[in-house]
Chains A and B, each alone.
Chain A
Amino acid sequence: MADREVRPATAGPRTHVRVSQAAEGRRPAFEGTSIAPRIVVVGAGPAGVRAAQTLLEAGIRPVVIDEAARAGGQIYRRQPANFRRSHEALYGTEAARAQAVHDGFDAIAAAVDYRPDTLVWNIADGQVWTASEKGYATLAYDALILCTGATDRLMPVKGWHYAGAYSLGAAQVALKAQACAIGANVVFMGSGPLLYLVASQYVKAGAKVAAVLDTSPFSNRLRAAVDLIAQPGILADGVALTRALAKAGVPVLTGVTPLEITGDGDDGVNGVRVRLGNGTERHFTADAVAMGYHLRPETQLADLARCEFAFDAKTRQWLPKRDQDGRASVAGVYLAGDGARILGARSAEVSGRLAAFAALADLGQKLDPLTLTHLRGQVASYARFARGLATAFPWPHEQAASLPDEVIVCRCEAVTAGDLRRVVNETGAKEANRAKAFSRVGMGRCQGRYCGHAGAEVIAACANIPVEQVGRLRGQAPVKPLPVAIAPEGEE
């Protein structure tokens, strides 16, 4: 393998040096020095944990930066240290995997440079900018592995700004991290595997589930079977969840069209009104509703690192480009887990390892080609399963076209579908950032993470153009709100 130019991990002005060709079993170092390259892993979910482990095994001590107080990510999110529920109680069918990821990280936590409760809020000139209670700091990297995870993909519906309307992920976090339910009588509405998983977790926790309302017709699942069979184990778990819900007496309806979350601004949610697959309307009484349409990757850091994106027609979203091992379009940046593609937690463990191997290879370390082939094969299988999920539980983009004008699309800035359509019609703004500049959709504190997809669909339908022509909202720092008070670490 040829030597490759990389930059050393020292502070201050950085000069280009060469990494010595790593002999088998020797840790990679910059030529003529014992300085190991600095690899920064952002995120300590399944992808980040496995990436960090892989790097450590190769003799590199990575920096692991995570927003959460404890490693595990969202899907295997841990309860506070003084809570005592078992892994079985918290993670059900995924208990063994959650335990393995947690134990895996606990075993290396002291050996890596672990920075919990720390946000990476910007990336520039080969450095990550962090923020924590201690202040801000910069950290130069030779390789950056982004394992930033995912959040819920949401579709606006009338009344979704009332108190008591949550995303599925939030409903699950409340349960897992805080042992709280979002309500005593909860409707689950949307589509995707998480809809059934969280609903059954609520049943198990003793909350009343008023209904599970899936926008996807059941026939989609049959069409998806050819791909879903790629992961028979996960498929069986999913079927079992649906059965368990039926057994618990929870109404599970498919092919549903959400019409309205009923309630008011003072008392919040009091129910959900939908049109059923047979055309009749029905109202379900509830004091909370959890919504989600599968997931969307958190790609802002890849965006700030100036990675290129491409439109994925199957899921109708923009994703950072990467090769089969996770290399982004920018040298030295690697993408793994659901932050790159929604392939699920199991795949994230594999893609985290692959991204670490890719970084090591690019730094001059020799790798076992068989290991790589094996890991790539696993990711390919998860990718096929994910394609099946996208067929079974599609993002109901056509609903955006029929959203009533009074429905709020951007909750941060309280901009309605009508406001956005007026901007499109009156100003001719059809590009996402242009429409944002004129309408404020996506300009608030979430920076379009929750409304961006729906906003683009509203624009596309209104302007009668394909949604990819609308483009995507450019990411801007800070990734999450940053205190004006922030000072450098170590400064009073």
Chain B
Amino acid sequence: MPNPVSVSDVLIIGGGLMGTSAALFLRQRGRSVTLLESDLVGRQASGTNFGNVRRQGRPLHQLPLANRAIAIWRRANELLGADVEYLQSGHIRVCYRERPENIAKMEEYATEARHLGLDLELLTGNALRTRFPFFGPDVLAGSYSALDGHANPRLTAPAFARAAQKAGAQVFENTRIIHAAKQGTDFVVTAEDGRTFQAPVLLITAGAWGNKLSQQFGEPVPLTPRGPNMSVTEPVPYAIAPAVGVMTPVEEETVYFRQVARGNIILGGSTRGPSYPDQYRAYVLPQNTMKQLRQIRRLAPALANLNIIRVWTGIEGYLPDSLPVMGPSATTSGLFYAFGFSGSGFQIGPGVGETIAELIDTGTTPIDLSHYDIARFRTAES
């Protein structure tokens, strides 16, 4: 075997938001870190998502992690030495008239969330329309979170990677790992070009590619690659503070939008598209763009006066229960996972990095990770 390119305390495979933030927090804890990214850091799910920094709507058991993340978002610019365009400008989640039962669900969620540190304000009728006059007639009620907001995904993971590098982490881009195994006390991973990297601790944060690595340790998971359905309008004067989303069981109705400080309005959601991790490509299907625009007009009719100037997508990894795999391996000591965030990883990302770093460094974390255990996908034969 050739000499490894690096030997460090921790080896991280996957340079998205989870991997880059874990790298930074591990360095802050004095651990030596090597981060391996198959392409460029933050290029796929972490860089192409909507940019919601949203706690509300998450499973209640996830709120402690989301709260931990929000504390990092608030000091992100200072922590990273770069502007990631975080705006704590509020988030409102609305429901439509044809599903009035959602009001009761919103109320119940708000009651529970308050105990977990998330304050939500329920708005209906004139109170809703006076404050947010852009909603269409189908909108029945809204749940408003003043302390949520949004940030720029294109900038965030690369900024974490640069900060980690500045703090001493080694970052290798364009490094595709084809083999990972534990040999004695150390993990040895091998890149496509034959380079090897070695460490006693391995963290897999490889998003839609996570399963390819976890199965090498006897832990396959039913991961499905998809692509977010994103559009952006031309810039218009800044007028819409909160990020806006729809609460509905129907995927096609699930749209959201936010206005960035520059003035463009980013539209997301409705039907997700296909993505192809092996080819590193994902495509926006035009029919999905059309469905999205129809739903956006329903949500906020005034947006019909604008033009979209660009669409985009990326490669996200989805798990059947929409929850990630996060925590220690069930088969291999020293191996940790954080992938499969199922289109909901951006807000919690920095909290995931901090929590995993804490877990690796101290062997424990106050964050309850039981819902994310990879063993939940264990099949009879494995």
Contacts and interface: CB of A to CB of B under 8 A. Distances in A.
A481 B311 contact: no
Nearest to A483: B307
The list of the 9 closest CB pairs from A to B, nearest first, reads A481-B307, A485-B304, A445-B309, A437-B154, A122-B286, A129-B286, A481-B309, A484-B304, A476-B310
Given A484-B303, A484-B304, A485-B305, A124 B283 contact: yes
A240 interface: no
A444 interface: yes
Contacts of B312: 476
Interface string A441-472: 00111010000000000000000000000000
B155 A445 contact: no
Interface in B285-318: 285-286, 289-290, 293-294, 296-297, 303-312
B158 interface: yes
Contacts of A122: 286, 289
B284 interface: yes
Q: How large is the interface on A (under 10, 10 to 19, 20 to 34, 35 or more residues)?
A: 20 to 34
Contacts of A138: 286
12 contacts: A124-B283, A129-B286, A437-B155, A438-B154, A443-B310, A476-B311, A477-B310, A477-B311, A482-B308, A483-B307, A484-B267, A488-B290
B290 A484 contact: no
Interface in B193-223: none
Contacts of B285: 124
A402 interface: no
B162 interface: yes
A121 to B, nearest CB: 8
Contacts of B251: none
A125 to B, nearest CB: 8
A431 B173 CA distance: 13
Given A438-B154, A478-B308, A486 B234 contact: no
A486 B304 CA distance: 8
A124 B287 CA distance: 10
Nearest to A485: B304
A434 interface: yes
Interface in A111-161: 122, 124, 129, 136, 138
A118 to B, nearest CB: 15
Contact of B40 (A136, A434, A488): A434
Given A484-B303, A484-B307, A438 B284 contact: no
Greatest chain A CB density within 10 A among B162, B283, B307 is at B307
A231 interface: no
Contact of B304 (A444, A478, A483): A483
A437 B308 contact: no
A447 B307 CA distance: 14
B308 A481 contact: yes
Contacts of B154: 437-438
Interface residues of B, number: 30
Contacts of A485: 293, 297, 304-305
A178 interface: no
Contacts of A205: none
Contact of A444 (B283, B286, B309): B309
B61 to A, nearest CB: 34
A138 B285 CA distance: 12
A478 B286 CA distance: 9
A416 to B, nearest CB: 15
Interface of A: 122, 124, 129, 136, 138, 413, 427, 431, 434, 437-438, 443-445, 447, 476-478, 481-488
Given A476-B310, A481-B234, A488-B290, 10 more contacts: A122-B286, A438-B154, A447-B309, A476-B311, A477-B286, A478-B309, A481-B307, A483-B306, A484-B297, A484-B308
Contacts of B267: 484
Contact of A427 (B158, B234, B293): B158
B47 interface: yes
Contacts of A486: 290, 293
A476 B290 CA distance: 15
Contact of A447 (B262, B293, B294, B310): B310
B190 interface: no
B233 interface: yes
A438 B311 contact: no
A482 B306 CA distance: 8
A427 B80 CA distance: 13
A484 B233 contact: yes
B273 to A, nearest CB: 10
Greatest chain B CB density within 10 A among A481, A484, A485 is at A484
A124 B309 contact: no
Interface string B1-33: 000000000000000000000000000000000
A36 B162 CA distance: 58
Contacts of A481: 234, 307-309
A484 B286 contact: no
A306 to B, nearest CB: 9
B295 to A, nearest CB: 11
Contacts of A431: 40
Contact of B296 (A413, A444, A484, A487): A484
A438 B307 CA distance: 23
Contacts of B304: 483-485
Contacts of B233: 484
Contact of B305 (A129, A437, A445, A484): A484
B286 A124 contact: yes
A427 B162 CA distance: 8
A14 to B, nearest CB: 15
B173 to A, nearest CB: 9
Contacts of B310: 443, 447, 476-478
A482 B283 contact: no
Contacts of A444: 309
A329 to B, nearest CB: 15
A438 B158 contact: yes
B38 to A, nearest CB: 15
Contacts of B284: 476-477
A388 B187 CA distance: 60
Contacts of A488: 290
Contacts of A136: 290
A484 B309 CA distance: 10
B293 A484 contact: yes
Nearest to B162: A427
Nearest to B294: A487
B320 to A, nearest CB: 27
B312 to A, nearest CB: 6
B250 to A, nearest CB: 20
Contacts of B262: 413
B155 A438 contact: yes
B31 to A, nearest CB: 24
Contact of B306 (A443, A484, A487): A484
Greatest chain B CB density within 10 A among A138, A443, A444, A482 is at A482
Contacts of A447: 309-310
Nearest to B40: A434
A232 B234 CA distance: 47
A481 B309 CA distance: 5
B47 A437 contact: yes
A182 B262 CA distance: 31
Contacts of A434: 40
